[in-house]
Homo-oligomer: A and B are copies of this chain.
Amino acid sequence: MTSPRVTVLAGGVGGARLAHGFALAGVPLDVVVNVGDDTELHGLWISPDLDTVLYTLAGLNDEERGWGLRGESYATLAQLAVLGEDTWFTLGDKDLATHVARTARLRAGLPLSAVTAQLAASLGVTARLLPVTDDPVATVLDTPSGRLAFQEYFVRRHHADAVLGITYEGIDAARPAPGVLDAVGGADVLVLAPSNPFLSLLPVLGVAGVRDAVERTSARRVAVSPIVGGQAIKGPAAQILETLGHDVSALGVARLYTGLVDVMVIDDADAALAPAIEDLGFDVVVTDTVMGGPDGRERLARELLAV
């Protein structure tokens, strides 16, 4: 029996961990990643979600912190501060190499998808890592303090502002990167990672043709709820669901994915929500969705393959 082809739609940490689980399970894997959090800092093009997935699949990520590389030093950043640069976005010395190389290659005319494939190959990643688009998309948050660029909101202001609305600038003009629609259409299992729906997955689904490909694929479509017991495992998903008027629960997430997904995977803590989610037309799997380290990731990935 051949392994099922798996495609994961992913944001940062949650997507990276689940994708890593599939990689550890040894299945052919495509990961389509959000670029709405990309930003330019110090003249360098930074793709935080792509890098989190890249470093995690390469086994080089800092597990404790959830982002960046293990064993980092910060000599360049400290000197950038001496030179008067704004250094609220932490950039390690090794991590900087990714941004320097990516920026140089983008400026030389390569599309982000080609640069990403090069970086993944250099780090020994065999899964196919795809930015959802080679075109610029910028997630912008409306808050009581005004409109904030994504990293301004997320890193500089520690996602403390209430999110009253979200715009994905450029998304109407963005075309899917080469391979993205095929990865969605040709998968046996399509997984919406336990990433933030608003900050990670909607800007993936919003790129022309992606939502349509998800709706039409013959793959078994599975979403893992990022909300467990009314809280996000990481990040501001719970606050954003609330301020945008959604149920802060796996049920609220399921409503967002109606028509896109066949199976909702929810945590044991949320077992009581299963009937209501089934009423929306989903199959529901109740399991331990909190992945923790590599063992937990592979376990969850294998459970999803068995769905």
Q: Is A118 an interface residue (CB 8 A)?
A: yes
Residue of B73, B82, B108, B119 near A93 (CB, 8 A) is B73
Kindly provide the distance from the CB of A202 to the nearest chain B CB, expressed in whole angstroms. 31
Bound complex: CA of A43 vs CA of B110, how far in Å? 13
Contacts of A118 in B (CB 8 A): 83-84
Using known A-B contacts A43-B100, A43-B107, A104-B42, determine if residue A93 contacts B79 with beta carbons closer than 8 Å. yes
Bound complex: CA of A43 vs CA of B118, how far in Å? 17
Of all chain B residues, the one with the shortest Cβ separation from A79 is B97
Contacts of A73 in B (CB 8 A): 73, 75, 93
Q: Is A80 an interface residue (CB 8 A)?
A: yes
Q: A81-101 interface mask toward B, CB cutoff 8 Å, 1 = contact, 0 = none?
A: 011110000001110111011
CB-based contact B83/A122 at 8 Å: yes
Of all chain B residues, the one with the shortest Cβ separation from A95 is B79
Size of chain A's interface in residues, with CB distance under 8 A? Answer: 32
Residue of B42, B43, B75 near A94 (CB, 8 A) is B75
Kindly provide the distance from the CB of A81 to the nearest chain B CB, expressed in whole angstroms. 9
Bound complex: CA of A94 vs CA of B73, how far in Å? 11
CB-based contact B79/A94 at 8 Å: yes
CB-based contact A76/B104 at 8 Å: no
CB-based contact A80/B93 at 8 Å: no
Q: A32-74 interface mask toward B, CB cutoff 8 Å, 1 = contact, 0 = none?
A: 0000000000111000000000000000000000000000110
Residue of B75, B79, B98, B103 near A75 (CB, 8 A) is B75
Contacts of A77 in B (CB 8 A): 97
Kindly provide the distance from the CB of A169 to the nearest chain B CB, expressed in whole angstroms. 21
Q: Which 7 A-B residue pairings sit nearest by Cβ, starting from the closest?
A: A43-B104, A79-B97, A75-B93, A79-B94, A80-B97, A83-B101, A76-B93
Give 7 A-B contacts (CB < 8 Å), ordered by A residue. A73-B73, A76-B96, A76-B100, A77-B97, A80-B97, A85-B104, A93-B93
